[in-house]
Amino acid sequence: MEIFIIVLVVVGALVAIASGIWVAIALGSAISKDDKKRISAGTKDS
Amino acid sequence: MSMVVPVAVVVAYLVLLTFVAVRARAAREFEEFSLAKRALPLALVFGSLAATYVGPGYSIGFVGRGFKSGFLFLGIGLAYALQNILVGLLIAPRLRSLKNCHTLGDAIGQKYDRKCQIVAGIISVGLCAGFSAVMAKAGCVVLNDVFNLPNWSSVAIVVGITALYTTFGGLRASVITDAFQFTAFATLLPVTLLLALVFHLKGGPATFTSQAISATTDGLKATPIIEIVGLVAAFLLGETLIPPYANRALASKTTRVSRNGFILAGIFSAVWFLVMISLGITARSVIPMDIDEDRVLLNLVRSIMPASGYALLLVVLVSVVMSSLDSLLNAGAVAFTQDIVKPFAKLPNGSALNIGRSATIIIAIIASAGAVFVPGIIDGLLICYTIWAPAILPALIIGLWVKHPRPLAGILSMGVGTVVAVMFELIIPYSIGIPAIIPAIALALMAYLLGHSFGSAKKGA
């Protein structure tokens, strides 16, 4: 019982950390996509 | 404790946040300001939803509740997780599939009529301003507690920075900065828990379990059943589809992203509550038991972390407040433009964008002024939940499911729900012995049925 509860809590903490990392990766990818769009728009303008 | 490290960490964080906000670009049209061009991917919808609902109540508040009443609040919090999952399964995809819909008011307008849209818009703007005032108060408490700044300057710093990037970047800036803030608190607080469990919990798993059992037993003894019922009702309904959540449902790339974003956010909320409650339970064997609930997290981190850890906590708390505040400011501004101004005047895109931006600033000013009148963070949030659920949910949910909803039913339900909730929550509180949200929802539903029986269907339906 004791071990089960502590394992559950640790797994919960790890899942939360993994969610944070997933969103960070998605954020990086969204920003870099934006940059690419901006560069290609700039190239077309020139 | 030297103030240099905390100040340096907070300043560095704010600079990084500003950099991220600038990368999100200024919105160039109202569609971008209000719905981020309906192109948000799953991870950003999920991160932004979670960042918006994890405010001071779901972080500082839950750690304090875990400290005092163990896993009792985890059980109550699961009602919130269930609500998000149900919204994802039943409502978000329907909302997303509506064409030319920017707000909840828009959805209600499409289903009922223009008058209903305006009423829903007024309620949305009022509630967003109220929620924003609570967030401004929370930001004030955090900065005031650490830097001893006067209240007005703490509010000005938190609301000013948030309003700045939300005014220019609109929903996209709000979502991008939310994702950044989510990353900060979703990693730092669980890491704090793991450190506390590994290095500071004397007695290991056995101590944790015995503390959890004793706290939960105390919590159950101290909380009457009717209070638990009221709390479950508030968690299940009170925050359902408040304007910032609805905006994220509408701004998702597809109906599938909208549905899955809410389902994942619901599952995450259960995990998050487990982590926060566990932090509170761990604190029972680390800090003295006579500490005020709202200061448990602060004291725990102060006890187990060096000065830089304390600064880290500050960053987390500032993130928690700003990520909720930016979403509320943007949602209020979009509702004002779309539901209150647009029904009266045909606005070109540029004018709508300018009105949206001006409304962001005005709501930010109202929230700053209103922060003085907020009784407390949790109390302030509960007042807003109690009014929102009966005022909007019956009309919105039934309207999305019934084939030809009747405008009279919508108006009556929103009017009766708002009046009854305000009366029992603010004017004559505790007069009926049960939480105000319950009679307010019951009467709003009865008013809806009455309006549906006597009203006629929308013209052209």
User: For the segment B345-380, what is each residue's pLDDT rounded down to a tens digit?
Assistant: 888 888 999 999 999 999 999 999 998 888 777 778
The region, left, alpha or beta by phi > 0 then psi within -120 to 50, assigned to residue B43 is alpha
User: Which residues from chain A sit within 8 angstroms of residue B204, using beta carbons?
Assistant: 6
Residue found under tokens 């994890």: B54
pLDDT at A41: 63
With an 8 Å Cβ cutoff, are B208 and A9 in contact?
A: yes
Query: Which of B18-32, B142-156, B390-404: highest mean pLDDT?
Result: B390-404
Rounded to whole angstroms, the Cα distance separating A8 from B90 reads 30
Rounded to whole angstroms, the Cα distance separating B237 from B385 reads 8
Q: Could you list the residue range(s) of the whole structural domain that residue A28 is in?
A: 1-33
Helix or strand (DSSP H, E) at B248 = helix B243-251
B434 compared with B211, residue with greater pLDDT: B211
Tally Cβ neighbours within 10 Å of residue B295. Answer: 16
B5: exposed, middle or buried (Cβ count in 10 Å: 0-12, 13-18, 19+): middle
B460 compared with B158, residue with greater pLDDT: B158
Please report whether residue A12 resides in a domain: yes
- Per-residue pLDDT of B15-63, as tens digits, reads 888 777 777 667 788 888 888 888 899 999 999 999 888 887 788 889 9
With an 8 Å Cβ cutoff, are B187 and A17 in contact?
A: yes
Question: Which CATH number is B4-374 given?
Answer: 1.20.1730.10
Q: Kindly list the residues of chain B whose beta carbon comes within 8 Å of any beta carbon in chain A.
A: 20, 23-25, 41-44, 46-47, 50, 176, 179-180, 182-187, 189-191, 193-194, 197, 204-206, 208-209, 212, 268, 271-272, 274-275, 278
User: Which residues from chain A sit within 8 angstroms of residue B176, using beta carbons?
Assistant: 27, 30-31
**10-residue stretch averages of pLDDT, chain A, 46 residues long:** 90 96 92 72 58
Q: In this prediction, what percent of chain B has a pLDDT beyond 90?
A: 48
With an 8 Å Cβ cutoff, are A14 and B182 in contact?
A: no
Please give the model's pTM, rounded to 2 decimal places: 0.87
B158 compared with B413, residue with greater pLDDT: B413
pLDDT at B265: 96
pLDDT at B294: 78
- Per-residue pLDDT of B279-288, as tens digits, reads 999 999 888 8
Mean of the pLDDT values across residues B168-190?
Answer: 88
Who among A12, A23, A27 is closest to B275 (CB)? A12
* Mutation for testing the B interface, residue in A4, A6, A32 having most B CBs under 10 Å: A6
With an 8 Å Cβ cutoff, are B209 and A6 in contact?
A: yes
Band the pLDDT of B213: cuts 50, 70, 90: very high
Please report whether residue A41 resides in a domain: no
Band the pLDDT of B7: cuts 50, 70, 90: confident
pLDDT at B430: 67
For residue B4, pLDDT beyond 70: yes
Question: Who contacts B416 (Cβ-Cβ below 8 Å, separation ≥6)?
Answer: B390, B443, B444, B446, B447
Query: Which residue in chain B is spatially nearest to A14 when comparing CA positions?
Result: B190
With an 8 Å Cβ cutoff, are A17 and B190 in contact?
A: yes
Query: Which residue in chain B is spatially nearest to A7 when comparing CA positions?
Result: B205
Domain count, chain A: 1
Please report whether residue A42 resides in a domain: no
B107 compared with B146, residue with greater pLDDT: B107
Which of B410, B326, B442 minimizes the C-alpha distance to B118?
B410
pLDDT at B241: 87
Mean of the pLDDT values across residues B452-461?
Answer: 76
For residue B104, pLDDT beyond 80: yes
Q: Which residues pair with B40 in a beta bridge?
A: B252
Secondary structure (DSSP) of B179-235: HHHHHHHHHHHHHHHHHIIIII-TTHHHHHHHHHHHHHHHHHHHS-HHHHHHHHHHH
- CB B193, CB B282: distance < 8 Å: yes
Question: Who contacts B427 (Cβ-Cβ below 8 Å, separation ≥6)?
Answer: none
Question: Who contacts B361 (Cβ-Cβ below 8 Å, separation ≥6)?
Answer: B163, B167
A16 compared with B168, residue with greater pLDDT: A16
pLDDT at B461: 53
Q: What is chain B's mean pLDDT, rounded?
A: 88
Mean of the pLDDT values across residues B442-459?
Answer: 89
For residue B434, pLDDT beyond 80: no
For residue B75, pLDDT beyond 70: yes
Who among B20, B180, B271 is closest to A16 (CB)? B271
Rounded to whole angstroms, the Cα distance separating B292 from B131 reads 24
Mean of the pLDDT values across residues B109-126?
Answer: 94
Q: Among the listed ranges B92-101, B286-295, B363-372, B424-433, which one has the minimum average pLDDT value?
A: B424-433
pLDDT at B438: 86
User: Which residues from chain B sit within 8 angstroms of residue A5, using beta carbons?
Assistant: 205, 208-209, 212
Chain B nearest C-alpha distance from A40 (Å):
16
Please report whether residue A16 resides in a domain: yes
pLDDT at A45: 52
Would you say the C-alpha torsion B284, B228, B226, B56 has a positive or negative sign?
Answer: positive
- A7-26 residues touching B, CB cutoff 8 A: 8-10, 12-17, 19-26
